[in-house]
Amino acid sequence: MAQNDDRFEPRIGRSRRDAVRTPTTLRTVLMGRVARAGGNPRRLPSAVPGASAQRAPSPSPGRFNARGRGAKIAAGFPRGSGWSFDRQSGARVRPRRVTVKVRVVKATGKAGGVQAHLRYLEREGVSREGEPGRLYSTFTDEVDRGTFIERGLEDRHQFRIILSPEDGTAYEDLKPFTRDVMAQVETDLGTTLDWVAVDHHDTGHPHVHVVVRGVTEDGKILNIAGDYLSHGIRHRAGEVLTRDLGPQTEQEMQLQLEHEVEAERLTRLDRTLIGRAEQGVIDLRMDDPGTDFERAHRQLLVARARQLERMQLATPDGPLRWSLSPDAEDVLRKMGERGDIIKAMHRAITEAKLERSPQLYTIHDRDAAPIVGRVVARGLADEQGDRRYLVIDGIDGRSHYADIGEAEGSFSVGSIVRLSNRSTEPRQVDRTVAEIAAAHEGRYSIDIHLQHDPTASEAFAATHVRRLEAIRRTTGAVERERDGTWTIAPDHLERVRHYEQRLAQAHPVAIDTLSTVPIERQVGAEGATWLDRQLTREVNQERAGHGFGRDVRQALVRRQQWLIEQGLMQRDGSDVLYRKDILEVLREREVRQVGTQLEAQIGKTFVEPIPGVRVDGIYRQTIDMASGRFALIEKSLEFTLVPWRPALERHIGRAVSGIPHGDGFDWTIGRGRGGPSL
C-alpha cells in the first residue's frame, strides 16, 4: 500500500440546506408521476396551473397505454441507417434495409373478410415452386386457417404486416427470417403474439405477409404505439437481415441503383432528386467529386434525370440542371401501379390459357363505359386491405382490370357479369324528398308525402323513408324526430351527393351477376341461360369479332342449334323463329329437374311454385342454376324453389312469405302480410 493511502482530507462544501433550490411547479410534479406510471408526460396540456410558458407539446403517436413505446429504437433508427467503415474489408458498409407496411384492420364481425384475406394470401402460384401459399407460425409450418380465424372471432382488430427485405432473393426460405423478426417484436412488446404468415415469391421481390391478432397472451386488447409500427418493426427487421447476410457494401448498393435508372416507377433515385430540388430545379453540378461511390452515385442521378427528361417529367435548365415537373412524383407512382396491374392481368390471362393481346389490356376508370364479360381472375387490389379487383374478359374483345372496392359477392371465375360505375348524383327519390320538404317547411314524413301527392301509395312513400334512414345511419346528414318526421336541410341534394361520393370510395362500381354458369356449360343447359336472352334479344349487346366476343358468337350458334333440336326454335328460310314463352319453358324445365334431384337429399317432396299463389316457409339455402339464383323455401313436408333476391340473403333460416310472378318474387319477412316488405 502506498505511504499516503490512508490519509483522508475532507473538503467542506456548501450546505445543501443553504443551496438555492429551483421551485417545483405542479406541472413538473405531474410530469414525473406520469413518467413513473409508464405514460408520456408530453401529453400533459401546457395550461396546467403553475406551469411556465412552453411551446405546444408534439402529439404522441399511438395510444396512451400502447406497447412498444419503451423499446427505445424508433429515435435511434435514423442514426443507425448511415454508412460506416468496415476495417476488415476496407469498404464502407451500412445496415441492410427492409420495407415494412403495417395496417390495423377492424375485425369485429368481419370473419368473412378475414377468411377472404387469408384465402387470397394462400392462393395458387405464390410459392417459389408455383404452388399455393401455406400459413405458418412460430413452431409449425402448417397452420389451419379455420382454427386461426375461430380463435380471433371476438378480436376487435388485427395487424396486417408486409415484410419485404431488399435482399429477399438471397434467402432459400423466408420462414427463419420471419420468425426471428416476430420473436424480437414479441420481446419489444412484452407479450407473446398469435400470428400466422405466408411467403410470396410471385413478384420480383420476395416478401412475407404476417397477420397478427389484436390480443395479448392474457387475452387483453393489444395496442401498439404508432412510432413502433412506423419505425420499430422496420428497425428490428433490418437488424435480422443484416445479421443474416452481413452489412450492405457500396458496390451492392450501386448495382441495385443501376437497375432503377430506366424504371417506369418511383425509385430511390427519384426520391433523392426530389429531395435535392430547390424551387423545382435539380442541380447536379459537383465541384468536389468526393469518393468513388459519390461520383458513381452522381452519374446515376444524372442518368435518371435524363430518363425523366425523355419521359417528359423534367426539362433542361442549363448544364446538369433540370426543372422537375410538379406532378412528377405522382405520375411515377401511378406508372408503377399501372405496371403492377398489367403484370397481374397478364399473369391471370396466361393462367386461364387465353390468347389475348396485351395491346387490348384496359384499366377501368370513372369515365369508362359499362363492361359485360367473363370473370377471369379476382383478388385483392391492396394486399393489406379489403379492396378487391376483377379481371374481366369483355365481349368487346378487350381484357379489363377493375378495382371493385369492398364489393360483396363471390364473383366466381367463369361467371358472366355486368360492371358499371356507381353514380354519385342524387336519385329521383332524393329529389322528391327535397321537393316535398321545401313545400312543408323542411319536414318530410309518409303522411306529408301522401298529403302532398294523393296519387302516391304508402308503400311508395316508405321507399323514401328507407333511403333517408340509410343516409342517416351513414352520415347523419338528415335528422329524424321522435314522431317519425324527418328534418330536411335546404342543401339536402348536396348532402346526398357527398353521401354518394363517400359510398363510391368503398364501392366504386355496381356489379350484376348475369350468369354463374360458364359459357361453355350454357350451350346444352336445361335452363333459361344468358345466351338465350341474347338470342331472344331480351339483352342485345354488341360483340367483337375477337377475344371473348368471338367466343360468345360461336356459343350462340351452338346454343341455337341445341334449341332447334329441342323443338323450342325452328328455321324459316334464313330466319330462326322461337316460341314467345321460350324463357319461361326453359326456366320451368330446369327448376323441375333440380327440384327432383334435391328431393333425395332433403327427404321432402318438391312442389312447383304457382304464379300468383302465396308461398310460405323457411328460407334454407341458395341454389345456383343456369336460369339464375333460386331460394329454397322449406315447409314441414315439402319445399319449393323461387327466384332469389340479394336482400333475402341476410334472412337465411327465417320464415318468409311471397307471391311468385314471372321470373320474380315479392318477398315479405315473416309469415303472412304483416312483415316488412323487400
Residue 241 pLDDT greater than 90, yes or no: yes
CA dihedral 563, 565, 566, 570 (to 10 degrees): 60
Q: Is residue 597 part of a domain?
A: yes
Pick 74 or 259 by higher pLDDT: 259
Contact 286, 298 (CB under 8 A): yes
Q: What is the mean pLDDT of the chain?
A: 83
* Measured torsion, CA atoms of residues 112, 113, 117, 122, in degrees rounded to the nearest 10: 0
**Residue 52, pLDDT score:** 40
Torsion of CA 363, 369, 373, 374, to 10 degrees: 30
Percent share of the chain, pLDDT over 90: 49
CA 676 – CA 668 distance, rounded (Å): 6
- CA angle 360-362-366, nearest 5°? 150
The type of residue at 471 is I
pLDDT score at 497: 94
Confidence (pLDDT) at 125: 75
- Supply 551's cell numbers: 367466343
Asked whether residue 358 is domain-assigned, the answer is: no
d(CA 101, CA 427): 40
- Mean per-residue pLDDT, 328-339: 92
Tell me what the mean pLDDT of segment 604-624 comes to: 89
Residues 402, 345: Cα–Cα separation, whole Å: 10
pLDDT value of position 26 = 62
Residue 80 contacts residue 88 (beta carbons within 8 Å):
no
- Note whether residue 250 is domain-resident: no
Kindly tell me the sign of the dihedral angle through the C-alpha atoms of 663, 669, 670, 673: negative
Percent of the chain scored above 70 by pLDDT? 82
Residue 557 lies in a domain: no
- 213 lies in the same domain as 106: yes
- Lowest average pLDDT, out of 46-60, 118-132, 209-223, 316-330, goes to 46-60
Under 8 Å between Cβ of 235 and 80: yes
Q: Which residue has the higher pLDDT, 615 or 374?
A: 374
pLDDT recorded at residue 100: 93
C-alpha grid cell for residue 438? Answer: 321545401
pTM of the entire predicted model: 0.72
129-188 pLDDT, tens digit per residue, is 878 899 999 999 999 999 999 999 889 999 999 999 988 888 889 999 999 999 999 999
DSSP 228: I
For the chain, the domain total comes to 5
Q: Give the CA dihedral 626, 629, 634, 638, nearest 10 degrees.
A: -20
Q: Are 106 and 216 in the same domain?
A: yes
What is the rounded distance in angstroms from the CA atom of residue 517 to the CA atom of residue 525?
Answer: 9
* pLDDT of 15 strictly over 50: no
Distances (CA, A) of 349 to 236, 356, 365, 392, 398: 39, 7, 20, 10, 12
Query: Phi then psi for 98, rounded to 5 degrees?
Result: -130, 125
pLDDT digits (tens, 9 = 90+) for 442-475: 999 999 999 999 999 998 999 999 999 999 988 8
Q: Quote the strand ranges of 47-120, DSSP E.
A: 84-86, 91-94, 98-106
> Which residue reads 468536389 in cell numbers?
288
- Of the listed ranges 77-91, 103-117, 217-231, 382-396, the one predicted with least confidence: 77-91
- Closest of 674, 637, 638, 629 to residue 656, by C-alpha: 674
590 and 485 in a common domain: no
- Counted residue by residue, the chain has a size of 678
Question: Is the same domain home to 120 and 209?
Answer: yes
130: its cell numbers: 408455383
Task: Verify that 599 and 485 share a domain, yes or no.
Answer: no
- What average pLDDT does range 21-50 have in this prediction? 53
Write down the pLDDT at residue 293.
65
Under a CB-based contact definition with an 8 Å cutoff, are residues 188 and 235 in contact?
no
Cα–Cα distance list, 569 to 314, 522, 540, 559, 564 (Å): 65, 16, 18, 11, 5
CA gap 512, 531 in Å, rounded: 16
Q: In terms of domains, do 210 and 266 share one?
A: no
- Amino acid type, 128: R
> Does pLDDT of 324 surpass 60?
yes
CATH number of the CATH domain containing 458: 1.10.10.10
What CATH number is given to the structural domain containing 102?
A: 3.30.930.30
Ranges assigned E (strand) in 493-550: 509-515
Residue 571 lies in a domain: no
| Residue 35 domain-assigned (yes or no) | yes
- My answer on whether 208 and 120 are in the same domain is yes
Strand bridging mode 638-643 / 605-606: parallel
**pLDDT given at position 24:** 53
Contact 356, 393 (CB under 8 A): yes
- Residue written as grid cell 316457409: 617
Residue with cell 396512451: 64
The predicted structure's pLDDT at residue 37: 54
d(CA 649, CA 631) in angstroms, rounded, equals: 9
Spatial separation of the C-alpha atoms in residues 375 and 658, rounded to whole Å: 33
> What mean pLDDT comes out for the span 601-606?
92
Question: What pLDDT sits at residue 549?
Answer: 94
What is the pLDDT, as a whole number, of residue 62?
Answer: 45
At 194-206, the pLDDT tens digits run 999 999 987 778 9
Does residue 189 sit in the same domain as residue 284? no
If asked whether residues 212 and 141 sit together in one domain, one would say yes
The single residue listed with the C-alpha cell 415484410 is 163
- Domain extent, residue 453, equals 428-506
353 three-class SS: coil
Residue 654, in any domain of the structure: yes
* Domain end (from 486, 506, 526): 506
- 319 and 433 assigned to the same domain: no
Largest CA distance in the chain: 133
What pLDDT is recorded for position 55?
Answer: 43
Q: Is 226 a domain residue?
A: no
| 205 alpha-carbon distance from chain centroid | 21
Same domain, 280 and 183: no
Q: Pinpoint the alpha helices (H) of 88-225.
A: 111-121, 145-151, 175-189
Domain co-membership, 589 together with 647: yes
Helix (H) or strand (E) holding 33, with range, is helix 26-36
pLDDT digits (tens, 9 = 90+) for 497-547: 999 998 888 889 999 999 999 999 999 999 999 999 998 886 667 899 999
Q: Give the C-alpha separation, 193 to 178, whole Å.
A: 13
DSSP 391-439: EEEETTS-EEEEEEET--S---TT-EEEEEEPP-SPPHHHHHHHHHHHH
